[in-house]
Amino acid sequence: MRAFNSKAFSFLLIFSPLSCLSNASNTLRTGETLYNYETLVSSNGVFELGFFSSGDSGNEYVGIWFINDKDKKAVWVANREDPLPASSGSLSITNGNLVIYNNRTSDKTILNSDAPATTNNTIAKLLDSGNFVLIQGEKMIWQSFEHPTDTFLPGMKLGLFNIGASQPRVQFLLSWLNPGDPGKGSFSLGFDRENKTQFNIWWGESVYQEIGFWDGKNFRLFFESSSNNHNFSYVSEEKETYVTFSNKESIVFSWFVMAYHGVINEYKMEDQRISMVNYSLCDGTAVKNSSGCLIIPLVCENGDDFSEITGLMPTSIITRRATAIGINGCELLCRSNCSCVAYAYSSSDRYGCELYYGSKLDLLKMTGKGNRAILLRGHRKSKQNRKKNRLILVTSHSDVCNIGFDWQKEGMKGNMRLLLSQFTNENDIKSNGVESVECWEVHRVNGSKNGWYLSTD
């Protein structure tokens, strides 16, 4: 390697005489080979492309990472489904195509198999945007931005393309299997193919959380605070529907990652330092600890009572959960967040539980305009019909409820600490009107330490 002058970041690369690349720092040409001890570096020293290993498996991958990221977390992985044995890979342009070789078995993976080159006159270039492109003549015939993994970079598009064609293309984020394995995980981020205005996190084929939607004028995000740092654009045309974004401030580079346990992480790079903001399902609604995000019962100023009205949910901030959570789980999720204005549940559709975070006035305006049963917060019921208040214990072991009111003395059961900070003893619990105790058991999602779902079993 050589030394490069960076306009965006100052970074010194040490020269290595083993490189088989000619004078190209960011470019791979026909006849050149990139071995596992070499890298390409974008022209301003922002991104680096090369081989990396992750976890304890010893498998080797071709990926792209920020050059000044000390952890070298890949923002794109070329061969996540076809890892190589350690120290066995190389990347070349063969017959105009980008090819990853397993030098021990002669097996190969053609990266641009969906857009093969028609001539040998091609070059591959790593751009400062993090996009790795294959150029034939003066035309770009393939780009990594059209094959995202778990990372949403500025300028990248997530959406539906070639709509109506025989081979439509879907671009979405797909989480890693776990922090040490770039293989395909369980969570994805992308548009609903039926309702192209809904931008969701998916758990397999089911909606896990709605995080964005087009309200007719603007593209709205569940994590509204992020909108202060980015310009989001929503495009919907006959042949394509997608969302993209850019950073508002040139001195701050930020991006999003679909994490392996079902949350969206926003990363920011400023002054060569990387920081992270977590947007989990419990964002703004719960206490987080080392074991994950817990939903804690709250005492809201306007009461925890819900009354039923009939109408429609207005188009505003609505978070949907899968039907498997049940009507009791739906009520718990709304009750646990004082910002939740209302909820509705139906076992007959794929969304099941809907939580409404918009204006109560807007909701009341929709009364009588539909036949949906909606439970509205803050309307006191009569004493006869009023539900008993319950204390919900969220735990990873169902036998915690057997402890009675001594749960605070135990403090920890299994891997999850109970953080019920409103109550200190049995008298405090009774004085808050809690007449019964219910135990909810929390299960891991695919062995994750941070991903949980609720069950009353």
Q: Which residue has the higher pLDDT, 367 or 315?
A: 367
State the chain's mean pLDDT as an integer.
Answer: 74
For β-strands 412-413 and 372-377, DSSP reports them as unpaired
pLDDT at 73 over 80: yes
Q: Which of 47-56, 261-270, 293-302, 404-413 has the lowest mean pLDDT?
A: 404-413
Name the least confident of 81-85, 268-272, 379-383: 379-383
Output 56 or 171, whichever has higher pLDDT: 171
Name the amino acid, one letter, at 295. I
pLDDT tens per residue across span 25-51: 899 999 899 999 999 999 999 999 999
How much is the pLDDT for 116?
96
Model's pTM, two decimal places? 0.62
- DSSP-derived secondary structure for 188-232: EEEE-SSSTTEEEEEETTEEEEEEEEE-SSSEEESSGGGGGTEEE
Q: Say how far apart CA 203 and CA 206 lie, in whole Å.
A: 5
Name the burial class of residue 342, with classes exposed (0-12), middle (13-18) and buried (19+) by CB atoms within 10 angstroms of its CB: buried
Which residues have C-beta within 8 Å of that of residue 422, sequence separation ≥ 6?
A: 296, 297, 298, 299, 428, 432
Which residues does 292 contact at the CB level (< 8 Å), separation at least 6? 261, 416, 449, 450, 451, 452
Residue 331 DSSP symbol = H
Choose the CATH number for 22-143 among 3.40.50.620, 2.90.10.10, 3.30.565.10, 2.40.50.140: 2.90.10.10
Domain pair 22-143 / 306-377, same fold: no
Give the long-range contacts of residues 85-90, CB within 8 A, separation 24 or more. Answer: 85/58, 85/59, 85/60, 86/53, 86/58, 86/59, 86/60, 87/36, 87/60, 88/36, 88/60, 89/35, 89/36, 89/51, 89/60, 89/62, 90/33, 90/34, 90/35, 90/36
- How far apart are alpha carbons 42 and 126 in whole angstroms? 5
Least reliable range by pLDDT among 13-27, 120-134, 342-356: 13-27
Name the percent of the chain lying above pLDDT 90: 37
Q: What is the pLDDT of residues 139-194, one digit of tens each?
A: 999 999 999 999 999 999 999 999 989 989 999 999 999 999 999 999 999 999 88
- Specify the amino acid at residue 8: A
Q: Are strands 198-203 and 181-191 parallel, antiparallel or unpaired?
A: antiparallel
Contact 377/334 with Cβ under 8 angstroms? yes
Q: Where are the domains of the chain?
A: 22-143, 148-282+290-296, 306-377
Residue 137 — pLDDT band, cuts 50, 70, 90? very high
Angle at 355 between CA 351 and CA 358, to 5 degrees: 130
What is residue 303's predicted lDDT score, i.e. its pLDDT? Answer: 55
Task: Categorize the per-residue pLDDT at 437 as very low, low, confident or very high, splitting at 50, 70 and 90.
Answer: very low
Task: Please name which of 309, 328, 318 lies closest in space to residue 354, comparing C-alpha atoms.
Answer: 318
pLDDT for 420 beyond 60: no
pLDDT bucket at 385, cuts 50 / 70 / 90: very low
Q: What is the CA angle 130-133-137, rounded to 5?
A: 150
Q: How many CA atoms lie within 13 A of 446 on its CB side?
A: 15
* Residue 193: predicted pLDDT: 87
Which residue shows structure tokens 């974004």? 245
Nearby residues of 116 by Cβ (< 8 Å), 6 or more positions away: 96, 97, 110
**205 or 125, higher pLDDT:** 125
Per CATH, the number for 306-377 is: 3.50.4
**CB atoms near residue 438 (< 10 Å):** 12
pLDDT confidence band for 210 (50 / 70 / 90): confident
Which residues on neighbouring strands pair with residue 353, listed in sequence order?
A: 321, 345
Where helices occur in 25-108 by DSSP H, the ranges are: none
In 10 A of CB 10, how many CB atoms?
Answer: 11
What is the C-alpha to C-alpha distance for residues 10 and 31, in angstroms, rounded to an integer? 31
* Res 403: pLDDT: 33
Distance (Å) of CA 456 to CA 166, 174, 213, 336: 45, 30, 32, 16
Question: Which of the residue ranges 146-160, 259-273, 292-306, 371-385 would you say has the lowest mean pLDDT?
Answer: 292-306
Mean pLDDT of 440-444: 39
Q: Which pLDDT does position 41 carry in this prediction?
A: 97
pLDDT tier, 318 (very low <50, low <70, confident <90, very high otherwise): low
When mean pLDDT is compared across 38-52, 146-160, 264-278, 374-388, the lowest value belongs to: 374-388
Residue ranges with strand state E in 1-107: 27-29, 33-35, 39-41, 47-53, 60-66, 76-77, 89-94, 97-102
Task: Look at 108 and 354; give whichever has higher pLDDT.
Answer: 108
Neighbours of 4 (CB within 10 A): 17
**pLDDT tens profile 217-242:** 778 776 655 556 788 889 999 999 99
User: Tell me, what's the pLDDT at 297?
Assistant: 37
pLDDT bracket for residue 381 (50, 70, 90): very low
341, containing H or E segment: none
Distance of alpha carbon 4 from the chain centroid: 34
Tell me the pLDDT tens digit for each residue of 326-340: 777 788 778 777 767
